Amino acid sequence: MGSINHPVGNATYTQSTVAIIGAGISGMCMAIDLLRRNHRNFVILEKGSSVGGTWTDNKYPGCACDVWSALYSYSFEQRATWTREYPGQEEILTYLTGIAGKYGLYPHIRFNSTVEEARWDEDTRQWRVKVSVSGAKDAQFQSGYELSANVLISGVGQLNMPAWPEIEGMEGFKGKSMHSARWDWTYDFAGKRVAVIGNGATATQIVPEVAKTASHLTVYQRTPQWITPRDDKAVHPAQKALLSIPFFRNCKRSLMMLYREMSHDFVVKTDTKSSQEIRDLGVGHIKKGLPNKPDLWETLTPTYPPGCRRILSSDDYYPALGRDNVKLDTRSIQRITETGIQTADGETTDFDLIVYATGFRTVEFLHPIKIYGAGGRDLSELWSGGATAYYGVTVEEMPNFGLLYGPNTNLGHNSIILMIEAQSRYLAALIDPIIRAKEAGQSLAIQPKTEVVRAFNVDIQKRLANSTFADPACNSWYKTSEGRITNNWPGTVVEYQQGLAQVRWSDYDIEGDDDRRFVGKEETRIGHVEEVWPVSKSTLLLGLSVAVAAGGWYLQGARGRPRRR
């Protein structure tokens, strides 16, 4: 193979320097960070047939992001053109496909390519990655192959594998069944009797849309959710015009970031004054949304603290439950019959369509990919008590391996893209010596020290134990059935970004030819993306004071001055 700065090509892609699993927001971000460092010899292995990850998987009616578009976007690719404050799935996917094109990612992506297994080879200091190929045509070239890579990076995230419940009789249902993350738009639900199992973030988006045309819809709720007003609206053309100026775009994003960071305490801390405010807001929202259904108010009010589960936002879910063709059913589901759903009291309700809005297999990170690290160490065994990693990005005994949106990096209060960008920048710096060693015809293996990863996890678990997430009154996708919180980060985004703003080489074991030559220093400073005002605070304050004074003078003058005709 020629220079490793050479982009992957047809003849060389099975000997890439870096293999990234997944072409979603994480995998794309990683690829862009590699390109920024002029590392072009990487491949992205994508199971599906499109970029976009979760935004191409989830196409259900009403699918949108619950974080503002100005924040749920890459810092380096902000848009003035978002049509709404909360972007819909199609708009986000268009944004992502545009970025994949703009940065030239497509030649690096192998679609319909599923990573089945990756095994670390001590002798060559490389990963051997087994890939299976799907798709009628792609599989005609070959049904599977092995690829070698010096670095393996997972971009599969936490919300990748749909979770189907285990309910007796599901297979025998004669109507249509679908999981929310595998929506079948060829099925017309208009005029049909529809059941939605679940009432999470996904169900609260589906229900209002499907209720508009279904003849009847029943929502099966097991546990109530805290839901706050969403206040989604179209971005006004005047605002869009302002946002086309980077200064204002940055201001909007910074304000939103600040606001979300300020919400950290009432999402994560228990029994704060603001937590009570969220409860009051949530209860008020139920009453406002269902003024004529006081019988539902208590049923819809959670007993666990807000933040223990993701706080949802919706303006149309409660009004949808108030429709004549919609019913909220809290009886537990006993089994699925050939015609419908039987509840514990023995009653069966018939349906044409059952929607499983039952979430994702969130605590089984990387499932079902098999990863074997140093000495054949099985990652799933290492994680048998719950997944752990150093800042969610690197794992002991897994050399030259990185994770994006890995263990303990999910947020309840802010945009996950802010975390992903920090991870991607960090990993790009961490693997830089490995790539340079390869350029020099040598090899390096870098893995975090076991004691560093353990100490880090002891610390965050201690903090998480005092958070709302740990409240025993609620189960959630943030934790294992034993109650270990494997998914969420306890702190603010800024704290996390600062933690990853430098690679401390003393955190890592480095093994290889002439290793000091490629690492050398104690620390590599990366810095982090700061969502800060484009002007200093004092300039901003001065500007605001002048604006207020000028406005006051103008208004006073307008009142005092005779009107000109």
- For residue 259, how many other CB atoms are within 10 A of its CB? 13
Closest CA to 396 of 379, 371, 419: 379
Q: By CB under 6 A, tell whether 202 contacts ligand NA7.
A: yes
Q: Which of residues 122-141 bind ligand NA7 (CB under 6 A)?
A: none
C-beta of residue 369 within 8 angstroms of C-beta of residue 115: yes
Q: In angstroms, rounded to a whole number, what is the distance separating the alpha carbons of residues 452 and 507?
A: 6
Rounded to a whole number of angstroms, the minimum distance from the CB of residue 357 to ligand NA7 is 6
Q: Which of 333, 420, 430, 453 binds ligand NA7 (CB under 6 A)?
A: 333
Q: Which of residues 303-332 bind ligand NA7 (CB under 6 A)?
A: 310
Q: Which of residues 472-531 bind ligand NA7 (CB under 6 A)?
A: 477
Rounded to a whole number of angstroms, the minimum distance from the CB of residue 310 to ligand NA7 is 4
Q: By CB under 6 A, tell whether 165 contacts ligand NA7.
A: yes
The span from the first CA to the last CA of the chain, in angstroms, equals 80
Q: Which of residues 174-193 bind ligand NA7 (CB under 6 A)?
A: 180
Q: By CB under 6 A, tell whether 156 contacts ligand NA7.
A: no
Q: Which residues pair with 118 in a beta bridge?
A: 129, 371
The token pair at 338 is 């050939």
Q: Which residues pair with 193 in a beta bridge?
A: 216
Rounded to a whole number of angstroms, the minimum distance from the CB of residue 228 to ligand NA7 is 14
Q: Rounded to the nearest 10 degrees, how much is the dihedral formed by the CA atoms of 458, 460, 466, 468?
A: -140
Segment interacting with ligand NA7 (CB under 6 A) among 196-204, 313-321, 346-354, 542-550: 196-204
Rounded to a whole number of angstroms, the minimum distance from the CB of residue 201 to ligand NA7 is 4
Total residues contacting ligand NA7 by CB under 6 A comes to 20
Distances (CA, A) of 23 to 32, 202, 373, 487: 11, 22, 23, 21
Q: By CB under 6 A, tell whether 67 contacts ligand NA7.
A: no
Q: Which of residues 428-447 bind ligand NA7 (CB under 6 A)?
A: none
Q: Which of 28, 93, 159, 194 binds ligand NA7 (CB under 6 A)?
A: 159
Q: By CB under 6 A, tell whether 51 contacts ligand NA7.
A: no
**Alpha helices for 181-272 (secondary structure H):** 201-211, 237-243, 246-262, 264-268
Q: In angstroms, rounded to a whole number, what is the distance separating the alpha carbons of residues 216 and 291?
A: 21
Rounded to a whole number of angstroms, the minimum distance from the CB of residue 121 to ligand NA7 is 36
Q: By CB under 6 A, tell whether 203 contacts ligand NA7.
A: yes
Q: Which of residues 349-378 bind ligand NA7 (CB under 6 A)?
A: 357-359
Closest CA to 175 of 329, 356, 327: 356
Q: Which of residues 242-261 bind ligand NA7 (CB under 6 A)?
A: none
Rounded to a whole number of angstroms, the minimum distance from the CB of residue 319 to ligand NA7 is 19
Q: In angstroms, rounded to a whole number, what is the distance separating the alpha carbons of residues 522 and 418?
A: 26
Q: In angstroms, rounded to a whole number, what is the distance separating the alpha carbons of residues 467 and 463?
A: 7
Q: Site residues (CB under 6 A) for ligand NA7?
A: 159, 165, 167, 180, 197-203, 220, 222-223, 310, 333, 357-359, 477
